[in-house]
C-alpha cells in the first residue's frame, strides 16, 4: 500500500468590522483540524486569533474581535485569544 502524501492546506480568510463592515477588512489564514477551525489574522501591529467548530463560528468571533480591536487598540498591548 502506498503511503498517503503529507499535505497541509491553509486557506485565506477575511474578518470585517461587524456583520456589515465591508469598508474595514483584514485578511489572514484558517487551518482545519479534525474537530476545530483555527484562524489567525494580522491587524495593526498584532494578531487576532479565534477557534471554533466551523468557519462560520470562527468568522463571527473574528468580526467581533475586529470591532473590539479597533475600538480599544487591544493589539497594542496583547494578542487576544477567543475560544
Quote the cell numbers at residue 71.
475600538
Name the 3-class secondary structure at 47. Answer: strand
The predicted structure's pLDDT at residue 73: 62
| In the chain, where the domains are located | 11-73
The answer to whether 81 and 58 have CB atoms below 8 angstroms apart is no
pLDDT < 70 positions in the chain: 1, 8, 73-83
Q: Check: CB of residue 49 under 8 Å from CB of residue 62.
A: no
Q: First vs last Cα of the chain: how many Å apart?
A: 40
pLDDT digits (tens, 9 = 90+) for 67-77: 887 777 655 54
In terms of DSSP H, where are the helices of 1-83?
Answer: 55-72
CB atoms inside a 10 Å sphere around CB 53: 10
pTM of the model: 0.65
The predicted pLDDT at position 59 comes to 84
Amino acid at each position: 500500500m502506498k503511503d498517503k502524501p503529507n499535505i497541509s492546506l491553509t486557506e485565506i480568510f477575511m474578518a470585517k468590522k461587524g456583520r456589515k463592515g465591508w469598508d474595514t477588512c483584514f485578511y489572514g489564514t484558517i487551518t482545519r483540524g479534525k474537530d476545530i477551525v483555527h484562524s489567525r489574522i494580522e491587524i495593526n501591529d498584532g494578531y487576532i486569533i479565534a477557534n471554533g467548530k466551523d468557519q462560520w463560528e470562527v468568522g463571527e468571533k473574528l468580526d467581533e474581535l475586529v470591532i473590539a480591536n479597533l475600538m480599544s487598540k487591544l493589539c497594542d498591548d496583547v494578542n487576544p485569544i477567543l475560544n
